[in-house]
Chain A
Amino acid sequence: MPDWLLTLLITVVKAVAVILALLTTFAYMTLVERKLLGRFQIRVGPNRVGPMGLLQPAADAIKSIFKEDLQVTMADKLVYTLAPIIAIGMALTAFGGIPAGPAGSLFGENPWVYNLDAGVLALLALTSMGVYGIFLGGWASGSKYPMLGGLRSSAQMISYELGMGLSILGLLMLVGSTRFTDIVLWQGANGWMILFQSLGFALFMISSFAETNRTPFDLVEAEQELVAGYLTEYSAIKWALFQMAEYVNMITASALMATLFFGGWRGPGFLNGIIPGIADLPIVWLVVKIGFFLFVFIWVRATLPRLRYDQLMRFGWKLLLPLALFNTVLVAGYVAFFSAWGWWPLALLSLLGLIALLALSDTVRQLWTPPRRESELPRVPSRSAGGD
């Protein structure tokens, strides 16, 4: 067998394995989310289908396959079908670049499907291609609520994509490479990036919540406001594909946070002092970290109310963007003039920035809920004498 064919075969096998793993995780993610939301609200989640509700995802999947696939008369047929495929395709592809261990640690193969030099950029580009899926879906539905939901979602996602791109610039300056494996190696040598970039991490996390359309930023599918946003006219498996894309994006975002800021597949090094070798179980640690961030996603959903749309846009443009720029300039200045002191003062600076952000959050909040001036208050219509 020629060499290139073998490589291709291995890549395809790995891709299929990653995709199947992601789909299973997605299915059980929905179950875990419902269970956890139940626990948060002092009730039990699904527990009827199978032991502890473990077959619930399978039941949901079978149901959505056997449902009738409706298509509204006014819909654009090609785009309507294409949109969910784009969404799921991009969401699944984005995950393949995350390294799950050092080179050659997966039965002699590399534990990633592809490892590009511009890894971070490619991942950002792929996640933002997901906007196309959602917007095209909304547009092609041939109805106005999906259209409005799609517009809102695209505006929101592109706004927070800026914050996402800018908030990792400081990290890239420290590492000097956009390759995921290099970033993980740097963290192995210098300590986890969260220590040096806590402000950047906070911004990145907030933007990834908005990018994946999760609460408190899930205006796209605000059930109480816009029916179901871009999903209104979708049924059966296409609806399930959109849901799948959203959850897979969540998993990717968690993996991204773990890889960029929390040492990727490396466990905390001091644990090796207690039980030797425990910090060097590559895939296990990555899964643990992803699980933790997924839990945070669900936790936040059960805790925070949704933002209004204008608040969302103001928050993104007036707070997130300037702060991300500020973080970049801070790191740039430090690296340029004080790098002889090592990176620890930078950690302190970043932490101070984060604490200042938290302490001032009440003052800062007026940015996105500005106090109304007297002239801007809604006028009470004065009744004319003749009545109406």
Chain B
Amino acid sequence: MLLVALSIGILAVLVSAILGPKKSSRTKLMAYESGNDPEGGGVGTGQRFPVHFYLVAMLFIIFDIETAFFFPLAVAYQKLIPFAFFEAITFVLLLLVGYYYVLKKRVLEWT
């Protein structure tokens, strides 16, 4: 499935590369900036962006691991109750402490 899907994409790109016109000029290949000469930007120019994106990505990693722990618990849940319930609650509470800290640190406020 994956191979077939990827080959569809590659095929489309190839066909377009063969059939499309190729008349490029310097102006045509300039990055878009409302008609001005582009300033900064570009791969490898070390462009800066807000640290918030890092924080969100880190939080995502933490909470996604939490989700990953939850999936096997959820699937085997009906065989493990009521013990699993208290385990899950403890885990969630521990995470909520961290979540509360993040809230109070105003990490999730984008200003």
**A interface list, Cβ under 8 A from B:** 11-12, 15-16, 18-19, 23, 64-76, 81, 84-86, 88-93, 96, 113-114, 121, 139-145, 147-148, 151, 154-155, 158-159, 161-162, 165-166, 169-170, 172-173, 176-178, 227, 232-233, 236-238, 240-241, 309-310, 313-314, 317-318, 321-322, 325, 328-329, 332-333, 335-337, 339
Contact = CB atoms under 8 A, between A and B. Distances in A.
Interface residues of B, number: 64
A143 B49 contact: no
Nearest to A91: B5
A147 B41 contact: yes
Mostly, the A contact residues are helix
Which of B49, B67, B85, B88 has the most CB atoms of chain A within a 10 A radius of its CB? B67
B94 interface: no
B15 A237 contact: yes
Given A89-B5, A176-B79, A321-B99, 8 more contacts: A81-B13, A92-B1, A92-B5, A113-B1, A155-B53, A155-B56, A310-B110, A336-B82
B42 interface: yes
B40 A72 contact: no
Contacts, number: 207
Interface string B47-85: 101001100110110011001001100111111011011
A322 B10 CA distance: 41
Which of B21, B103, B110 has the most CB atoms of chain A within a 10 A radius of its CB? B110
B31 A173 contact: no
Nearest to A328: B70
B20 A165 contact: no
16 contacts: A11-B1, A65-B20, A66-B19, A66-B21, A72-B30, A73-B30, A93-B2, A139-B43, A161-B64, A176-B75, A237-B13, A237-B16, A313-B56, A321-B99, A325-B92, A335-B81
B46 to A, nearest CB: 12
B58 to A, nearest CB: 11
B4 interface: yes
A323 to B, nearest CB: 13
B5 A166 contact: no
B23 to A, nearest CB: 7
A96 B67 CA distance: 24
Contact of B29 (A71, A232, A238, A329): A71
B60 A162 contact: yes
